[in-house]
Each structure stands twice: as C-alpha cells, then as structure tokens.
Structure 1
Amino acid sequence: MEKANKWRNLLLGLLLDGIGMLSFVIPGIGEFSDVIWAPVSGWLMTRIYKGRVGQVAGVVAFVEELLPGFDFIPSFTLMWIYTYLIKGGSPKGSNQ
C-alpha cells in the first residue's frame, strides 16, 4: 500500500502544482485566484503530508502561493521529492 500511496501523492502533487500555476495563464484574475488558492494549497499540503513536516510545508505552500510571481515553484512536487527521495520513506505520522 505504501508504494501505491507514494505514486498517488506524486500524481496528486503534480496536479495541484498545475492548478497553482494556472494564475499565470489567466491574465487579470490570476493574482486574485491566488488569494483563494493559497489557504487551500496550504491545507491540502497538511492533509497529504502529516506531522511537523507537513505543517511546515503547508505554511511554505501558503506563503509561496500568496506572494506574487512565485507560482512557478512546484511546492507539492518538491515536498514529494523531499519525503520520498531525500528522506527516503513515508511522512512521519501518516497513515500511508
């Protein structure tokens, strides 16, 4: 089950990073959409990655989405890389 969740989290992260980058595509309403997307992305990050690491990543995702011009940073994908490639496992305290 761990391996399936690992790849599910990657696909979900890529999708969510894509959603976060949509503000570049829609001129005029892009920055307004970030005001809505920033708290949603922070909350989703804490749901996908549990524990202290997920909380920190949630704050980082929130700030990154809220700041103008930083939408190109793939927060969810970077968190996946940190969790599964650098740290080498599942998020601590997660049910995965």
Structure 2
Amino acid sequence: MTEEKDNKYRNLFLGLLFDAIGMLSFVIPGIGEFSDVIWAPVAGWLMTRLYKGRIGQAAGVVTFVEEIVPGLDVIPTFTLTWIYTYVLSKKKGQPKQID
C-alpha cells in the first residue's frame, strides 16, 4: 500500500475515533457540555493536523464551532471532512489539497 493510501485510511480511522469522542458528551448529562469546552479547541487543532492547507484550516474552525455549540455534537465533522477530501474532491485519484 502506498503512503497516500496509508494516510487516507489512517485519517478515516482517526476521524471516526475523534467523532466518537466528540459525541461522548451526550453520554454524561451536565458534565458533557463542560467537556466540550476542553474538547472543542483540541478537536479544531487535531483537524488542522489531519488535513493540511486551507481545507484543514477551514475544517478546524468548523470543528471548533460544532463542538463548542451545545447540541451540535451529533455532526460527524471529521468524517465529513474525510468524505470531502477523499471522495468528493478526488482529482486523478489524489486528494485535493489547496495551499
């Protein structure tokens, strides 16, 4: 497997994991929203590490907002960014990275 494919599936796995972590706040009522204050900046930063360039920067901001606003945790931002990067923006089999 090439390094590109390794990154593709690594990003999918990590995205699913991070989305699951973000949704954990629904498991513990009351404490969950407090955990979003900590998770939101971490999730935004992680998004910028997974996806470089403008896609990562924009997705990092969207992820931060999605995690910090109560009730929006159900949106799987990491997974949606993966779909956008590797499925919708495909260009000759390569992910579209805008710098």
TM-score (norm. length: structure 2): 0.90
| Residue aligning to 1:77 | 79
| Residue aligning to 2:33 | 31
**2:97 aligned partner, one-letter code:** K
Unmatched tracts of structure 2, length 5 or more: none
Unmatched tracts of structure 1, length 5 or more: none
Paired residue for 2:97, among 74, 92, 96?
92
Matched-pair identity in %: 71
| Alpha-carbon distance between aligned partners in 1 of 2:46 and 2:96, rounded to the nearest angstrom | 14
Is the 2:47–2:59 contact (alpha carbons within 8 Å) kept by the matching residues of 1?
yes
TM-score (norm. length: structure 1): 0.93
Deviation at 1:4, TM superposition (A): 1.1
Structure showing greater relative contact order (alpha-carbon pairs closer than 8 Å, 6 or more residues apart): 1
How many residues are paired up? 94
